[in-house]
Chains A and B, each alone.
Chain A
Amino acid sequence: MFGDYSLGDLGSIFVMQGFAGLILFSVYVLMALGLAIIFGQMGVINMAHGEFMILGAYVTWMTSNFFQSYLPSLFSGYFFLAMILAFVASGALGMLVEWVLIRHLYKRPLDTLLATWGLSLILQQAYRSVFGAREVGVELPQWMLGSLHVTESIEVPINGVFVMCLTLLITLGVAYVMYKSRWGRQVRAVVQNRIMAGAVGINTEKVDRYTFGLGCGIAGVAGSAFTMIGSTGPTSGQLYIVDTFLVVVFGGAASLLGTIASAFSISQTQSTLEFFLSGSMAKVLTLLAVVGILMLRPQGLFALKVRK
């Protein structure tokens, strides 16, 4: 298949293909992080994850409209504010949901699946009623569009680089919070032994609420960032949910490192196969590989060693 092309062409395509893989990797990590925190640390299967992402996207859309109408001079920087607002909105909704719904179901983890699925339907219809059934177009500032010319034939999408930087920042932030901060220690203590953690004076209810809020907030930021590469509509969240679960389950539920490793392997496989085969075939083969590996290693790539 490469006979007709010059070496220079092929070289630059491989570089760009490498970038395509890295961008896909960042996208996977970003969308899976929030879910990994909630699923991994709390054991709650949050089927409404995609809808929390889309809330972030809608917040971004509203911020963009606000800046266009009232502060057009600051439009080029609105995206940073939008991401913060998306985090706050999704996080707040997450905490509310935890308080109303999830906290009653901690002893029945499978029921959380059903409850959050219902929640996702409710949220979809709410978005449809509030924002309309049609998709909305989020206008981006000029500097975020287009691509960087590295050489004559190598071009790197700016929004891809932006997502990569954002993913790196958020991953480092989450790692710091989880493994270095006092609050992270409390979260991990609650995960390992809820009763003992309560006995030594940790407010487990509060820890649960903030953990859930943090996971949803990160989903909101992810949704905000994805307005650059995807669609914003009432059901757009559904586009991400399957890949997200795939990454989290494959990585091993309780491990941040596992999520990253699994996002990396899935995205590289997917993107390489897509280049040599067709898109649908690539997806089929990637899923087959994941199923095969999970059959041999049901706990996922990385799992905490626990005494059964």
Chain B
Amino acid sequence: MSDEANKGLLSPLRRKLLMGMAALPAITMLPRASFAQAPATSAINTTGLAVTDTEVTVGILHSATGTMAISETGSIEAEKLAIEQINAMGGVLGRKIKFIQEDGASDWPTFAEKAKKLLVNDKVAAIMGCWTSASRKAVLPVMEQYNGMLYYPTFYEGLEQSKNVIYTGQEATQQILAGLNWIAKEKGAKSFFFIGSDYIWPRTSNKIARKHVENVLKGKVVGEEYYPLGNTQFNSVINKIKLTKPDVIFTDVVGGSNVAFYKQLKAAGIDLSKQALLTISVTEDEIDGIGGENIAGAYACMKYFQSLDNPNNKTFVPAFKKMWGEKTVIGDVTQAAYLGPWLWKLTVEKAGSFDVDKIAAASPGVEFKGAPEGYVRIHENHHLWSKTRVGRAKLDGQFELIFETADLVEPDPFPKGYQ
């Protein structure tokens, strides 16, 4: 069943691209066919979710205002695009997806409150949402208490697993280890300097990275520094980097600090084409603010780059730009957010039901062949099997793919030997 859906995925995109071409009658039949088969609402919705004979309601819960709006805007855009595309092919079990968007306002209690509102008042069938770990942690008890389903898009620190959450981004070991292995092998790197923002994700990620560098790669961490969120002055730590001369600077600085860090790095005469720098926090979105000329040459390690050369991505990128403007860029998390509605649709079709318990049980093994990053599959632990890639930042703000793992990397949210 999921295969059939995957085949149909390309059709609305292609239809838009090749407007007026009459070569697609077979594909346009698909939605009609699924309408005809639409099962009775009482059979597929036994827990009183907002499902009617023609519509199903989901929630979108991100920060459209406040400091996180910078990052979460892309996720909102991606989820809306996915929903529009799914509707264009006939929706889910013959029902069009309607969404209710709530604003978490970059405030964690607000996230929890809005999640409760979506589940209790609106009875949404699933929520696409959250971005920071703090907002996810605030929403998690609500999801578990009222038995909701959350599709969470951000790469994060791991150490979490819930029946009520599907993690569509990478957890820390998935994202970091392959990148470190690559740079150790490719650059012969032995000494690493870690610098991050001071909160849970960078600290956990660096802990994992340190264990890997010391125990597996037999290298040395010559410095590990944290700066408060929003810090704008990095001259002192840049001097320390100059003093210790590490083979690799490994960074997980986030938000506005990122911009300051790379601008000052460049101003201090550190040339990223000679000094290897591996970041796990800079996507195309961030480069918009940093400026390509300030970060060109740096390596980023994640699962998706806008420049990926595969058929899925070649239809995804133009569709995204058509909906949200030629100048918008698509980063790793934006792509992961795009997976949320699709994975939910495929899981609902596999389970043959909107019931949350059945979706949670049916999730492991669901595969999405139309993912812009290539192919993903949900693991028993509700994270995704995905490839890890290394890209090099270019002047125009895009990444050039340098390396990708041969196989899908298994998600391991509770890594042994790394805690």
Contact = CB atoms under 8 A, between A and B. Distances in A.
A296 to B, nearest CB: 26
A20 B239 contact: yes
B268 interface: yes
A231 B260 CA distance: 6
Interface stretch (A93-101, A196-204, A233-241, A249-257): A233-241
Interface in A1-42: 5, 9-10, 13, 16-17, 19-20, 23-24, 27
| Interface footprint category on B | 35 or more
A236 B70 CA distance: 10
A59 B268 CA distance: 26
Interface residues of A, number: 52
B21 interface: no
Contact of B236 (A20, A137, A147): A20
B267 A135 contact: no
A136 interface: yes
Contact of A135 (B198, B235, B256, B293): B256
Nearest to A18: B239
B228 A24 contact: no
A133 B233 CA distance: 23
A157 B236 CA distance: 13
B243 A147 contact: no
| Chain B CB within 10 Å, residue with most, of A136, A158, A235 | A235
Contacts of B260: 229-231
B353 interface: no
Interface in A120-166: 125, 128, 132-139, 145-147, 149, 155, 157-160
Contact of A155 (B64, B225, B269): B269
A188 to B, nearest CB: 33
Given A16-B242, A24-B235, A238-B67, A157 B264 contact: yes
A259 interface: no
A304 B210 CA distance: 53
Contact of A231 (B224, B235, B289): B289
B70 A274 contact: no
A232 interface: yes
Given A13-B242, A147-B269, A229-B263, A235 B236 contact: no
Interface of A: 5, 9-10, 13, 16-17, 19-20, 23-24, 27, 125, 128, 132-139, 145-147, 149, 155, 157-160, 226, 228-236, 238-240, 270-271, 274-275, 278-280, 282-283
